[in-house]
A and B are shown apart, each in its own frame.
Chain A
Amino acid sequence: MNGTHPAVAPGLGGLAVRAGVCAYVGALVALPLAALLIEGLGQGAAALWAAVSAPVAVEALRLTLLTAGIMALVNAVMGTATAWVLARYDFPGRGLLSALVDLPFAIPTLVTGVMLVLLFGPQSPLGGWLAAEGVRVAFAAPSIVLALLFITVPFVVRAVEPVLMEQDPAEEEAARTLGAGTFTVFRRVLLPPLFPALLSGTIRSYARALGEFGSIVVVSGNIPYQTLTAPIYVFGEIESGRSEVAAAVSVVLLAVALALSVGARAIERLTGTARA
């Protein structure tokens, strides 16, 4: 076990570094967010409620929460399956698959949106065929879910994978010796230890999805009441010079995202999987 206590009481240099870091974080992170909070909450509860309860805003928030929810469900299942496959099986292309999982961290979200337009837009073969079948993807709600699924691929996989790597095969072997079938082993032995990581990964992907802008803005069409998500509504309000409305909706969205992050962090702390 490595020592984790502070190496030495910081000297003058250490204290200067600490002060510098606090000042940097204060000016770069705390100050602008304080401005946003004060603008959003500063006009009083009535103004905040009026901004958030406007029908367009309500629909935008509803769509954002809903599409993120669908994404989170798919991600929980497919993320766990992906982590499982990467941790347990050896097959041709495994390294490539593992690298592919990190692609969303490398690719700009706006480029993701452009790629989805190219894939599903009316001029593309796939988009044309889907339109002929009566399925609309680009400039409709499904494109939002697809964009969110793309950008959040790593979250659940990278949360669950380390837990799977650390599991001891002895438990599974004991269960099998006691006569448990494959499904029972999965449900009773393998899944429970994964659950905290699975939950925190899913929550983090949901929180990330609530703020997504670049990929959605080009592919969803941004039609109010239909495909306009909350961050894009906020963007429209900023462009129209109504920064108080934009700030009010931002504060609500930010509060949800923060509560989720705190929850995910608490889960990670409790179970000792503090790693994103």
Chain B
Amino acid sequence: MRSYAPVRPGSIGQWLIVAVVVLYLGMILLLPVSAIVVQALKAGVGPLLQTFDDPAAVHGLRLSFALATVAMLANGVVGVAAALVLTRHRFLGRRLLDALVDLPLAVSPVMTGLAFLLLFGRSGWLESALDAAGWKVAFAFPGLVVATLFVTFPFTLREVAYVLEELGTDEEEAAATLGASPWHTFVRVTLPNIRYGLGYGVVLTTARALGEFGAVLVLGGAISGHTQTATTFIYNALEERQEPAAYSVALVLALASVLVLAALEWLKRRRRKEL
């Protein structure tokens, strides 16, 4: 079977379609991005550097990067394990697990925050147990962690599961037949095969964790210098009409997402070459 190779647009009609798409994406995506770039250029580097003198802004950014690191590690490890279980194991309840792991994508971040508040908040299911143990989850760091873990859980899992499905089990079976232990098979055969999918998932997880807003706002309470993340700092700054501070931190996050985008593209190209 052949497939289409991309060709130079040959007629006016074809160039027109290309132009319409370029114009549309330019309007929907690039125009808003250019607005923040213009704002940053207009303000100059002064206010941007001043932002780094604001302890609340610095704390928010550091907190967001810390949460992204935790999510990347925890959901990276569990995501790979879950992808293996879903694609390589057959057991009662597999379909249920398969449905559950996709759920975070369907839940609004606000509702995620609410769901955890109903567990950990005032008169929540686990409140008395946590009180007895002296743990604080809602409006504290652990709350931010669980909220971030929830919203980012599907990303690594889905990317890795997709690659595992494509790969099939031939190589793993060969390794097992040759006497490799399951762990050895995983480290020497499976892991190298899934590395770009895993990388892609981990980058998506990081981006989503850095940008998470609704769930950490509801469950964390955005207490300045305590549970205020980069995004909730921006939100509070806008509420208090401190626009320059809000724009500066937004610009930092926008710059981070350019890096994320570059990483995603690179991984996508590498993966395409391998498959």
Query: Which A residues lie at the B interface, using CB under 8 A?
Result: 1-8, 10-11, 13-14, 17-18, 20-22, 24-26, 28-33, 35-36, 39, 78, 81-82, 84-85, 87-91, 93-95, 97-112, 114-116, 118-119, 124, 146, 149-150, 153, 164-170, 182, 207-208, 210-214, 217-218, 231-232, 234-235, 238, 243, 246-247, 250, 253-254, 257-258, 260-261, 265, 274-276
Task: Please give, as numbers and ranges, the residues of chain A lying within 8 Å of B36 by CB-CB distance.
Answer: 111, 114-115, 118
Q: Cβ of B135 < 8 Å from any Cβ of A?
A: no
Cβ contact within 8 Å between A106 and B4: no
Task: Please give, as numbers and ranges, the residues of chain A lying within 8 Å of B111 by CB-CB distance.
Answer: 36, 211, 231, 234, 250, 253-254
Give the Cβ gap from A146 to chain B, nearest Cβ, in Å: 7
Given pairs A97-B22, A105-B204, A258-B103, 11 additional interface contacts (CB within 8 A):
A3-B169, A4-B168, A35-B124, A85-B21, A95-B265, A110-B234, A111-B234, A115-B33, A214-B231, A231-B108, A274-B165
Cβ contact within 8 Å between A231 and B28: no
Q: Cβ of B194 < 8 Å from any Cβ of A?
A: no
The size of the chain B interface, using a CB distance under 8 A, is: 105
Task: Please give, as numbers and ranges, the residues of chain B lying within 8 Å of A246 by CB-CB distance.
Answer: 114
Give the Cβ gap from A123 to chain B, nearest Cβ, in Å: 9
Task: Please give, as numbers and ranges, the residues of chain B lying within 8 Å of A94 by CB-CB distance.
Answer: 6
CA A29 to CA B112, docked complex, whole Å: 9
Contact with A along B228-261 (1 / 0, CB 8 A): 0001001100100000001100100110011011
Cβ contact within 8 Å between B247 and A21: no
Give the Cβ gap from B206 to chain A, nearest Cβ, in Å: 10
Query: Which B residues lie at the A interface, using CB under 8 A?
Result: 1-4, 6-9, 13-14, 17-18, 20-22, 24-25, 28-33, 35-36, 38-39, 78, 81-82, 84-85, 88-91, 93, 97, 100-119, 121, 124-125, 146, 149-150, 153, 158, 162, 165-170, 172-173, 176, 182-183, 185, 204, 207-208, 210-214, 217-218, 231, 234-235, 238, 246-247, 250, 253-254, 257-258, 260-262, 264-265
Task: Please give, as numbers and ranges, the residues of chain A lying within 8 Å of B166 by CB-CB distance.
Answer: 2
A-B contacts at CB below 8 angstroms, number: 301
